[in-house]
Amino acid sequence: MIAFIIRRLLQSVLVMLAVAFVAFALFTYVGDPIAIMLGQEFTEQDRARISAELGLDQPFFVQFARFVGNAVQGDFGLSYRLARPVEELLLERLPATLELSLVAAFFALLVGLPLGVYTGLNRDSWLSRVFLTVSLIGVSLPTFLIGILLIYVFSVEVNWFPSFGRGETVQLGWWSTGFLTVSGLRSLILPSITLGLFQLTLIMRLVRAEMLEVLRTDYIKFARARGLSNRAVHFGHALKNTLVPVITITGLQLGAIIAFAIITETVFQWPGMGYLFIQSVYFADVPVMAAYLCLVAFFFVAINLIVDLLYYAVDPRLRVDRAISGGH
Amino acid sequence: MATTLPDATKTAPGLSARILDSDVFYSFRKSPLTMLAALVTLVCFSGALLAPWIAPHNPFDLGSLNLLDASRPPVWIEDSDPRFLLGTDNQGRDVLSTIMYGARVSLLVGFASVIFAMVLGVTLGLISGYVGGAVDAVIMRIADVQLSFPAILIALLIDGILRAAFSHQLHDQFALYVLILSVGLSYWVQYARTVRGSTLVEKNKEYVQAARVIGVHPIRLLFSHILPNVIGPVLVIATINLALAIITEATLSFLGVGMPPTKPSLGTLINVGNDFLMSGEWWITIFPGLALVLMALSVNLLGDWLRDALNPKLRVTR
Amino acid sequence: MTRAPANRALLDVRNLRVEFPTRRGNLVAVDDISFHIDPGEVLGVVGESGAGKSLTGAAIIGLLDPPGRIAGGEVLLEGRRIDNLGYEQMRRIRGREIGAIFQDPLTSLNPLYTIGRQLVETIQTHLDMNAAQARAHAVKLLQEVGIPAADRRIDHYPHQFSGGMRQRVVIALALCANPRLVIADEPTTALDVSIQAQIITLLKRLCREHGTAVMLVTHDMGVIAETADRVAVMYAGRIAEIGPVRDVIKQPKHPYTVGLMGSIPKITRRDERLAQIDGSMPRLNAIPPGCAFNPRCPRVFARCHVERPDLIDVERSRVACWLYDEESPRLRAAGDE
């Protein structure tokens, strides 16, 4: 078990290094920090001076090492566009994105799971067909369109919810939360539905497909042959086996949600990291791009690790507990 | 009493007869929804493809635009103009025509990126599965890492890199190719993995070993012998991928980092029209949106049907 | 529930017919078969793959996979019809009165639950016991099927057992509510040869001790010879021959059974080549009219192509072959056309 954890940790570190490498390559070869910092007119001496200060005349690997060292401490330099430290910018917006993502994920699970189970168990009922058709439309609807439609219907037409912004937030230390104010909560509704809808349809279809697979297995057949009640077969046996792969995929989807937040934040002008990232792409603001990449990669890797550990805890076959199989 | 097959001593049926009689076509015929989806897809695709010839107006011919025609609503609302079936935007461009041209661009990027991803993914998958060893390990590691990131992020990243590398004007000129590259590069992984899996299985079969003994060149072996046997699931992935590619491109354009307004795709149109949503001119955004959804939905339906039809385990006979 | 006149049979299958509707028409997988099983006896059901043996078992227990369905006939358990019961009523019979064992012990057990939990759950479904009593009962069952250190291993997961051990657990599960009949579908096919004998012995012993009847479905004649009291030979969804095991094996009457017995290598025989039946079993959508075996039968004659033979009593067996019908002009003489 320990060996497993160590191995996964090492893998994670390797992935992070690879990502850092890409980010660093971005920095050195694509941007020209000196021109940005010094403006249009500068002399060769100025360039040489700044170069030495920033360590840009050092060999590649030394620079990379410095980059990694800085990155680990959260220092990604200054944003080209806003001339502020990148980590400050990211930290300011992190709570907004995380809160939105968590609520969206919660929503997707809360509705998607039961729907998936229902359509898996009642494969041919008309209600299942309705849900499936709606889910197919959901998969074909791009997130931004959902956002626009929701804004149009609920903001412009009936004006129940605000169409942009986070509403009032409360500052708890360095974290700003929208959970504690009414306007904050109201502002969360439309964006989190937009963000969560895609995941919801994904979860529903996944759970359904898994459920149908499981219901075809021999152990379910044997459970029925033993006369177990429908409830025991469906919810005791089938559901548990269905949930194991679903947990992992859902966990991985959390990472996707954080990334998809980019779109939702843009539509709703939600002041989160995603919105910042889009603007940095448009303006070729390399430090912000690189930093966002590293941060998101870190989230993914961390989530992957947690999910793997969870899998390990839930599926007894993975526990290398080779008891003596005592004769035949 | 059991039924009997036609006498097998007659000559074998021709290709068209075999297709029409196949289980795949049967399930197609039996599902009116799928046939509808196929029809819609066909209509959308041909409408988009033939846009320059059959669109009622040319929205990019600046000379033909008349500001007096601006902001006209669709034909069934008063104050409209029967020349512009779905209304006009704030510059007098016919919405229906812009949708057709926009769909053309969307489809172009969609198809091109799918083909790019397919060629790249299938080739890498074949090589990875056949050669094995270190090559396989490297390719699969990259695939795994990329797979844990959502496609949109990869596409955004590649777009951002290219955008930072070139100036703005240059970028706009090449936006089409940049988009195809970004979207294609973000989707190759699934092809590679599937083909690799199938190749691993086929590699050990007798026909491959027989061909090697004869001395068939490995490349010919890969593409003429193994490839036809692993192509089935690839087609299913490609169809579902097409819908995803269309949506991804639309998203990128909507976010402002895809096709520019000078050569808009449906996503760009939606973005531009979004500003007018609040002031009540909903048709400028909603109709392109509907067109997008319609295309994606029909392609998805076709993909769903194809997957079920090619999977013998799911076949339900009713 | 109709009450047939009291008869000794535990299970009575009459004219059972199982169909699969497909787009090319109905496939008849089990075509009008009839047999019975007495209390405590072991009936072997033998035949090639695809002969319809497993489907018969599935139909009896009510677990046919759709679109397969029972299209005709009756199944009676102690005189009561069970083929037309609703799902819930049938469920109460399953496990309690009729048990089932399937082929692959690895996939028959839920990998995520301990075998103890799976046992206790089944016990409590059918017998009125609390958790502690059920657990004690489970331990006792495990000991009966020969699992060492049962009180410890009851909390182990299926993957912690070897194949033979797992099948013992499966047997324990099938027998825990003491059913009167067990349908065993190829219970040893997935096991090593050396283990097969042990499992068969176990099954025999348990069923004798509990008075359980067994419908033993298999393609392995050796197992039948060892275990069964009577045997039914199935071919293309029909019963070709059914009778006491000794008779069918030593003096097979149906030409198909003769062919089967002839193709089994014997230590005492000194032939150089094994006898082989030409051709193969017809596909379900290409079953010939008349007797299904007629294309391959070395003793075929005119009537075989036209009429499907009923089961005809011959000594202590019943054989579906026109050779044994007194009205047919050709009798047991060899060398027919």
Query: Any idea what the Cα angle at residue A184 is, between residues B272 and A255, rounded to 5°?
Result: 70
- Neighbouring chains of B at 3+ CB pairs under 8 Å are A, C
Q: What is the ipTM of this complex?
A: 0.81
- DSSP structure string for B188-206: HHHHHHHHHHHHHHHHTSH
Choose among B109, B90, B86: nearest CA to B295.
Answer: B109
- The mean predicted confidence, pLDDT, of chain A is 79
CA–CA gap between residue C28 and residue C18 (Å, rounded): 6
Range A145-174 average pLDDT: 79
B245-257 pLDDT, tens digit each: 999 899 888 888 8
Band of residue B130 on the pLDDT scale cut at 50, 70, 90 = confident
- Sort B76 into a burial class: Cβ within 10 Å, 0-12 / 13-18 / 19+: exposed
Phi, psi of C101, rounded to the nearest 5 degrees: -130, 130
Q: Does residue A318 have a pLDDT over 70?
A: no
Range C43-62 average pLDDT: 87
C190-207 pLDDT, tens digit each: 888 888 888 888 888 888
Residue B318 confidence (pLDDT): 34
Residue A326 confidence (pLDDT): 33
Q: Does residue A63 have a pLDDT over 50?
A: yes
Q: Is A317 in contact with C157 (CB distance < 8 Å)?
A: yes
Per the CB < 8 Å rule, is C285 touching B3?
yes
- Neighbouring chains of A at 3+ CB pairs under 8 Å are B, C
Residue C217 confidence (pLDDT): 92
Using CA atoms, how far residue A96 sits from A76, A111, A191, A232, B67, in Å, is 21, 23, 11, 42, 42
Using CA atoms, how far residue A176 sits from A96, A244, A272, in Å, is 7, 35, 11
Residue C336 confidence (pLDDT): 43
Q: How many CB atoms lie within 10 A of CB A311?
A: 15
> Residue C238 has which token pair?
């029909």
Choose among B85, B86, B91: nearest CA to B69.
Answer: B91
Q: Does residue A324 have a pLDDT over 50?
A: no
Query: What 3-state DSSP class applies to C215?
Result: strand
Chain A interface includes B13 (CB < 8 A): no
Chain A interface includes C149 (CB < 8 A): yes
Q: Is C12 in contact with C61 (CB distance < 8 Å)?
A: no
E strand or H helix at B285 = helix B283-310
The residue of chain B with its CA nearest to that of C32 is B1
Band of residue C329 on the pLDDT scale cut at 50, 70, 90 = low
Choose among B209, B229, B228: nearest CA to B218.
Answer: B209
Q: How many CB atoms lie within 10 A of CB B6?
A: 7
Q: What is the three-state SS of A85-130?
A: EHHHHHHHHHHHHHHHHHHHHHHHHHHHHHHHHHHHHCCCCHHHHH
A107-131 pLDDT, tens digit each: 998 998 899 898 888 887 888 888 8
CA–CA gap between residue C185 and residue C104 (Å, rounded): 10
Choose among A217, A218, A223, A222: nearest CA to A236.
Answer: A223
| Dihedral angle sign, alpha carbons of residues B252, B256, B260, B262 | positive
- DSSP structure string for C43-90: EEEE--TTSSHHHHHHHHHT-PPTT-EEEEEEEEETTEE-TT--HHHH
E strand or H helix at C235 = strand C230-235
Strand C317-319 with C312-314, pairing: antiparallel
List all residues of chain A from 278 to 307 with a beta carbon under 8 Å from chain B: 278, 280-282, 284, 286, 289, 293, 296-297, 300-301, 304
Chain A interface includes B300 (CB < 8 A): yes
Residue, of C59 and A132, whose pLDDT is higher: C59
Radius of gyration of chain A (CA): 25
Angle between helices A286-314 and A273-282 (to 10 degrees): 140
Q: Is C229 in contact with C242 (CB distance < 8 Å)?
A: no
Residue C139 confidence (pLDDT): 92
Residue A95 confidence (pLDDT): 87
Residue A325 confidence (pLDDT): 34
Chain B interface includes C306 (CB < 8 A): no
Residue C243 confidence (pLDDT): 92
Q: Does residue C1 have a pLDDT over 70?
A: no
Taking the C-alpha atoms of A216, A219, A224 and A225 in order, what is their torsion angle to the nearest 10 degrees? 120
Q: Looking at this protein, which amino acid is placed at residue B303?
A: G
Using CA atoms, how far residue B32 sits from B36, B45, B199, B301, B302, in Å, is 6, 20, 36, 11, 12
Residue A162 confidence (pLDDT): 76
Q: Does residue C105 have a pLDDT over 80?
A: yes
Band of residue B24 on the pLDDT scale cut at 50, 70, 90 = low
For residue B316, the chain C residues in CB contact (below 8 A) are 67
Band of residue C2 on the pLDDT scale cut at 50, 70, 90 = very low
Q: Does residue C230 have a pLDDT over 90?
A: yes
Per the CB < 8 Å rule, is A145 touching B160?
no
Range B118-140 average pLDDT: 87
For residue B2, the chain C residues in CB contact (below 8 A) are 25-28, 31, 284-287
Strand A175-177 with A170-172, pairing: antiparallel
Contacts of C291 (CB under 8 A, 6+ apart): C297, C300, C304, C305, C307, C308, C309, C320, C321, C322
Residue B117 confidence (pLDDT): 93
Q: What is the three-state SS of C289-328?
A: CCCCCCCCCCCCCHHHHHCCCCCEEECCEEECCHHHCCCC
Q: Which of B165, B255, B297 has the CB atom closest to A266's CB atom?
A: B255
Q: Name the DSSP class of B13.
A: P
Give C285's Cβ-side CA count (13 Å radius).
Answer: 11
For residue A243, the chain C residues in CB contact (below 8 A) are none
CA–CA gap between residue A295 and residue A272 (Å, rounded): 13
Per the CB < 8 Å rule, is B150 touching A304?
no
Choose among B14, B150, C126, B316: nearest CA to A212.
Answer: B316
Chain A interface includes C151 (CB < 8 A): no
For residue A328, the chain C residues in CB contact (below 8 A) are 162, 164-165, 194-195, 198
Substitution target in C64, C98, C110 with the highest count of A β-carbons within 10 Å is C110
Contacts of B63 (CB under 8 A, 6+ apart): none
Band of residue C242 on the pLDDT scale cut at 50, 70, 90 = very high
Q: Does residue A160 have a pLDDT over 80?
A: no
Nearest Cα of chain C lies from the Cα of B137 at a distance, in angstroms, of: 30
Residue B78 confidence (pLDDT): 72
> Residue A102 has which token pair?
């968590």
Q: Is B221 in contact with B212 (CB distance < 8 Å)?
A: yes
Choose among C248, C253, C199: nearest CA to C223.
Answer: C199
Q: Does residue B295 have a pLDDT over 90?
A: no
Chain A interface includes C117 (CB < 8 A): no
Q: How many CB pairs under 8 A join A and C?
A: 102
> Residue C174 has which token pair?
């099938």
Band of residue A319 on the pLDDT scale cut at 50, 70, 90 = low
Nearest Cα of chain B lies from the Cα of C320 at a distance, in angstroms, of: 18
CA–CA gap between residue B196 and residue B194 (Å, rounded): 5
Range A102-106 average pLDDT: 90
| Dihedral angle sign, alpha carbons of residues B53, B54, B59, B61 | positive
Q: Does residue B265 have a pLDDT over 60?
A: yes
Q: Does residue C221 have a pLDDT over 50?
A: yes
Residue C244 confidence (pLDDT): 93
> Residue A92 has which token pair?
């300011």
Long-range contacts of A27-31 (CB under 8 A, 24+ apart): A27/A67, A27/A286, A27/A287, A27/A290, A28/A60, A28/A63, A30/A284, A30/A286, A30/B161, A30/B164, A30/B165, A31/A80, A31/A284, A31/A286, A31/A287, A31/B164
Band of residue C273 on the pLDDT scale cut at 50, 70, 90 = low
Chain B interface includes A162 (CB < 8 A): no
Using CA atoms, how far residue C337 sits from B128, B192, C253, C258, in Å, is 62, 62, 18, 18
Chain A interface includes C303 (CB < 8 A): no
- The mean predicted confidence, pLDDT, of chain C is 84
Q: Is C123 in contact with C176 (CB distance < 8 Å)?
A: yes
Nearest Cα of chain A lies from the Cα of C252 at a distance, in angstroms, of: 34
Choose among B239, B240, B245: nearest CA to B154.
Answer: B245
Highest mean pLDDT among A232-246, A283-297, C32-46: C32-46
Q: What is the three-state SS of chain A?
A: CHHHHHHHHHHHHHHHHHHHHHHHHHHHHHCCHHHHHHCCCCCHHHHHHHHHHHCCCCCHHHHHHHHHHHHHCCCCCECCCCCCEHHHHHHHHHHHHHHHHHHHHHHHHHHHHHHHHHHHHCCCCHHHHHHHHHHHHHHHCCHHHHHHHHHHHHHHHCCCCCCCCCCCCEEECCEEECCCCHHHHHHHHHHHHHHHHHHHHHHHHHHHHHHHHHHCCHHHHHHHHCCCCHHHHHHHHHHHHHHHHHHHHHHHHHHHHHHHHHHHHHHHCCCCHHHHHHHHHHCCCHHHHHHHHHHHHHHHHHHHHHHHHHHHHHCHHHCCCCCCCCCC
Query: What 3-state DSSP class applies to C29?
Result: strand
For residue C23, the chain B residues in CB contact (below 8 A) are 26, 317
For residue A284, the chain B residues in CB contact (below 8 A) are 160, 163-164
Residue A55 confidence (pLDDT): 60
> Residue B217 has which token pair?
């060149």
Residue B113 confidence (pLDDT): 92
Q: Does residue B221 have a pLDDT over 70?
A: yes
| Dihedral angle sign, alpha carbons of residues C243, C249, C252, C255 | positive
Residue, of A138 and C18, whose pLDDT is higher: C18
The residue of chain C with its CA nearest to that of A240 is C112
Chain C interface includes A237 (CB < 8 A): yes
Range B29-40 average pLDDT: 75
Long-range contacts of B4-13 (CB under 8 A, 24+ apart): B4/C285, B4/C286, B5/C285, B5/C286
Band of residue A179 on the pLDDT scale cut at 50, 70, 90 = confident
